[in-house]
Amino acid sequence: MAGVVVCHGSTAVRERIVLTALGVPALAPVRAAASVDELIALARRVPPTIVLLDAHLPSPGPVEAIRRLRAVPSQSTVVMLAVPGDEIALDRAIALGARGYLAPDVGRAELAAVAAHILASPASPSGSGAGGPVAHDGLSGHGGVGTAPTPVVTRTELPAQRDEVSLTKREVEVLVGMSNGRSNAQIGQELFLSEDTIKTHARRLFRKLGAADRAQAVAIGLRRGLIR
């Protein structure tokens, strides 16, 4: 595992992020990829610790990139590079294991903070890799694009939804469990509650968040700062 790979379809954006990342010693070495094929080739050669992945990467696209990374024997953490309006793409990426998201104009200080966070809590070992939050389905397979997901690396720069949502302490605990890729049964064991009780809390928090499933609930929770 070594350094970071910046994978972005725009040459200008890719080069700017590479230059920014070069100023963060913890991210060395810094490599760049313009396509899914280049990213996978680099990951197979020397698996990166972190992959900064364009949410608009040209076909076959970012979702396929994450799927292919999961087939590479590593535990790379994927962080998406996204802009306002990318919520659907982010939900899909987080469902597959992306750990979080950043704006493409991310600065050196924020990259340094993200690097410190990821290095302090790397993706859980698993035969697949790819970082990041995240499992979904529960989130299953989200967390560092591996198997057991880990909490998001950083909150997105995307606009937060303004309406206030009030979750109970127990609902937040259930949502955190989901973001960590836990099944209802596993969350119940950790909280000393029955699986049926966990399902009840899940239904309530889905309703409060306006989420259709676990993946969407976790994505909304992360965007609103309800969980980290």
Q: What is the pLDDT of residues 96-121, one digit of tens each?
A: 888 888 889 888 878 887 887 777 66
Q: How far apart are CA 64 and CA 112, in angstroms?
A: 27
> Mutual orientation of helices 195-209 and 184-191 as an angle, nearest 10°?
110
pLDDT at residue 122 in the model: 56
Tokens encoding 128:
């697949």
DSSP string, 28-81: -SEEEESSHHHHHHHHHHS--SEEEEETTPPTTHHHHHHHHHTTSSS-PEEEEE
Q: Give whichever of 117-126, 200-209, 216-225 has the largest mean pLDDT.
A: 200-209
Residue that is written with structure tokens 């993200």 in the block: 114
Say if residue 128's pLDDT is above 50: no
**pLDDT above 70: residue 163:** no
**DSSP conformation letters of 166-193:** ---HHHHHHHHHHHTT--HHHHHHHHT-
DSSP E strands in 58-158: the ranges are: 77-81, 100-102
**To the nearest whole number, what is the mean pLDDT of the chain?**
77
Report strand pairing: 50-54 vs 100-102.
Answer: unpaired
| pLDDT of 154 higher than 60 | no
What are the tens digits of pLDDT across the range 60-82?
989 899 999 988 877 889 999 98
Which pLDDT tens digit goes with each residue over 165-214? Answer: 789 999 999 988 887 667 889 899 999 999 999 999 999 999 998 888 78
d(CA 100, CA 133): 6
pLDDT band for position 130 (cuts 50, 70, 90) = very low
Query: Which residues are CB-neighbours of 189 under 8 A, at least 6 positions away?
Result: none
Of all residues in the chain, the percent with pLDDT exceeding 70 is 79
Q: Distance of CA 160 to CAs 77, 118, 164, 222, Å?
A: 24, 23, 10, 10
Q: How much of the chain, in percent, has pLDDT values that exceed 90? A: 39
If one compares 46 and 150, the residue with the highest pLDDT of the two is: 46
Answer whether residue 125 shows pLDDT above 50: no
Asked if pLDDT for residue 12 goes beyond 90, the answer is: yes
pTM: 0.57
Mean pLDDT, residues 201-228: 83
Is 142's pLDDT higher than 80?
A: no
Q: Is 133 helix (H, G, I), strand (E, B) or coil?
A: coil
Average pLDDT in the 111-137 region? 53
**Lowest mean pLDDT across 53-57, 151-155, 172-176:** 151-155
CA-CA distance, 210 to 161, in Å (whole number)? 12
